[in-house]
Amino acid sequence: MTVHFVGAGPGAADLITLRAASLLAAADVVLFPGTYLDAEVLSHCPDALQVDTQKLDLDRITEVMVSASAEGKEVVRLTSGDPSLYSALAEQTARLDAAGVPWDVCPGVPAYAAAAAAVGRELTVPLVTQSVVLTRTQARSTAMPETESLAAFATTRATLVLHLAITKTRELAASLVDEYGADCPAAVVYRASQPDELVLTGTLADIADQVEAAELKQAAVILVGRALAREGSESWLYQADRPRA
């Protein structure tokens, strides 16, 4: 049987795709990241065996998937957001390949998109920035490649989206001030789209104070960039005098 890696979206039960809902409804076993997921998402698979993976290592997670597949059961491995970002997809699929278990991937709504929606901002604004950098900092996680320092990304002055970095907000804000300026808009969205969502908006000068006052420790996305000010030019694509076929 095929193991389906399914993007669970940012957490809200109604922000999963129709394909994801169909796969969940047909699943016999569902593995889910309890740390990041609103339990209501599991309402799409009420009859499935539900396995919270937040305290399981990759070998144990693989064992559950391989065993269930060998028993002819439909397996869904939920990931937070979209499987293409910070989902350990590479490690898990390598283990499934070694075990001879087929798998596929169903995309989901990424957390950064839900965060941008929560603050009501486009991350790319004409003549301000046309690029978005999705990255993280190192806390209790694997080391960052030497070529991917936050300082290096800051030189682009693109919109920065930082995952898994909320406990280092003060440090990262300080490292960005030289390139972006202390008055650069910044936002933090905790549990975007979920019932306990919290949105903090400010600048690089004060966003760390807000994060610490709110005592945020996990499940938050940090957005930094001038695009958040909603200032700049208008898109040439929609100009009235643009030649059209």
At 1 the pLDDT is 83
Conformational region of residue 189, where left means phi above 0, alpha means psi within -120 to 50, and beta covers everything else: beta
At 169 the pLDDT is 95
Question: Residues in the chain, how many?
Answer: 245
Cα distance between residue 168 and residue 35, in whole Å? 19
Alpha-carbon dihedral sign for residues 163, 164, 170, 175: negative
Cα distance between residue 211 and residue 171, in whole Å? 12
Which ranges of the chain have pLDDT less than 50? Answer: none
- Per domain, the residue ranges of the chain are 3-106, 111-229
Q: Is 41 exposed, middle or buried (0-12, 13-18, 19+ CB in 10 A)?
A: buried
At 198-228, the pLDDT tens digits run: 999 999 999 999 999 999 998 899 999 999 9
Non-local (6+) Cβ contacts of 71 within 8 A are none
Backbone angles phi, psi at 153, to 5 degrees: -65, -35
Asked, colleague to colleague, whether 3-106 and 111-229 share their fold, the answer is no
* DSSP tag of 36: T
- Token readout for 78 is 């939920």
The matching CATH number, chosen from 3.40.50.720, 3.40.630.30, 3.40.50.150, 3.30.950.10, for 111-229 is 3.30.950.10
Cα distance between residue 33 and residue 56, in whole Å? 10
Cα distance between residue 77 and residue 27, in whole Å? 10
In this prediction the pTM is: 0.88
At 241 the pLDDT is 60
Strand segments, DSSP code E, in 164-211 are 185-190, 198-203
Strand pairing class (3-7; 75-79): parallel
Residue type, 125: V
Residue with tokens 């060998």: 70
At 74-104, the pLDDT tens digits run: 999 999 999 999 999 999 999 999 999 999 9
CATH architecture designation of domain 3-106: 3-Layer(aba) Sandwich (3.40)
Task: Please count the other Cβ atoms lying within 10 Å of the Cβ belonging to residue 181.
Answer: 14
